[in-house]
Amino acid sequence: MMPQDGSSAVSLADIEVEHRRRLRRGRMVTAVQFLAVSLVLAGSVQLSGAADNTIDGGWGERVASFIDRLLPHLRAEALFADRATSGSLASWFHDLPRWLEAMRVTIAMAFVGTVVGGLIAFVLAFFAASNLNTNTALRQLVRRGFDAARTIPDAILALIFASAFSIGAVAGVLTLIVATTGSLGKLFSEALENAQMQEVDAVRATGGNWLQEMRFGIVPQMLPQLLSYWLLRMEINLSVAAALGVVGAGGIGVELQRAISFTEFDTYLAILLLIVGCIFVLDTISERLRHHLIGGAAH
């Protein structure tokens, strides 16, 4: 492109041409990308059958009536009146004691599910970490198991467990155990693969067996990180547990299901706010704990 004689007379025009060429090519690429994305989107709309879905009365009216039914009709003058008065906060949260009871079951579900699932994941993770387990076949088996446990939708698992163990909290706990084993197993084994191996070598040098190498070489250095993952999962499991009740796994989700079966959308919103509030409080506590743990590891 540059003129050979070293004069700068033509270069400006050349640059202009080159610039135009690049601009054109850039626009072509953008156009092709845009076309591809539009095709994917149009295909998706077609495939999902979303376009066939028509609503009588039009979407605007439907959404408006939905929002009207969702929001409680609170009256300012009766806000703090008792449950019987319509328009009061107490009448909006009319079943609060029972919801709190159900929330307690949900929290217990999340706790037991995370503890048991975390323990299973902790044991299995040693067999899924390539630096600790040199048996490739066993390692792949455990890893694929984790993958499957993570991929199967939790609501499907809950349905299957609910039809085997009857509807209730037991089905929810079992679902949480499977899902937690999958997700924590992956995280734990990846964390273990980054462990300092010198400490294992040191234990081995004193004549320790595999179990002692893990107990004194790996566990002390990894425990704070694993515990922090575990607490994070506890937070996630709390919201999962709240949702699973919807498909028959006990806890606060059952109350959501009940509100829907009476089409009381404002009650639904009240329970949703209660769930969200509980999750927020417990998350804050667990976040403190996690920072404490990670801070402790830094010393």
What tokens were used for 237? 């499991």
Stretch that binds another protein, among 5-13, 79-87, 188-196, 277-285 (CB under 8 A): 277-285
| 163 contacts another protein (rule: CB under 8 A) | yes
Task: Indicate the SS3 state at residue 206.
Answer: coil
Phi, psi of 287 (to 5 degrees): -65, -45
Residues with Cβ within 8 Å of residue 247, at least 6 apart in sequence: 155, 158, 159, 162, 253
Residues contacting another protein: total by CB under 8 A: 68
Report d(CA 73, CA 89) in Å as an integer.
Answer: 10
CA–CA gap between residue 13 and residue 47 (Å, rounded): 51
Among 53, 82, 97, 136, binds another protein (CB under 8 A): 53
With respect to another protein, which residue has the nearer C-beta, 6 or 49?
Answer: 49
Query: What angle do the packed helices 96-128 and 252-261 form, to 10 degrees?
Result: 130
Q: Identify whether the C-beta of residue 129 lies closer than 8 Å to the C-beta of residue 193.
A: yes
Q: Of residues 4, 207, 211, 298, which one binds another protein by CB under 8 A?
A: 207
3's CB contacts (< 8 A; 6+ apart) are: 9, 10, 11, 14
Contacts (CB under 8 A) with another protein, residues 212-271: 235, 238-240, 242-244, 246-247, 250, 253, 256-257, 260, 263, 265, 268
User: Is 97 an interacting residue with respect to another protein (CB under 8 A)?
Assistant: no
**Residues making contact with another protein (CB under 8 A):** 40-41, 43-50, 53, 55, 62, 66, 69-70, 104-105, 108-109, 111-112, 115, 147-148, 151-156, 159-161, 163-166, 168-170, 173, 206-207, 235, 238-240, 242-244, 246-247, 250, 253, 256-257, 260, 263, 265, 268, 272, 275-277, 279-280, 283
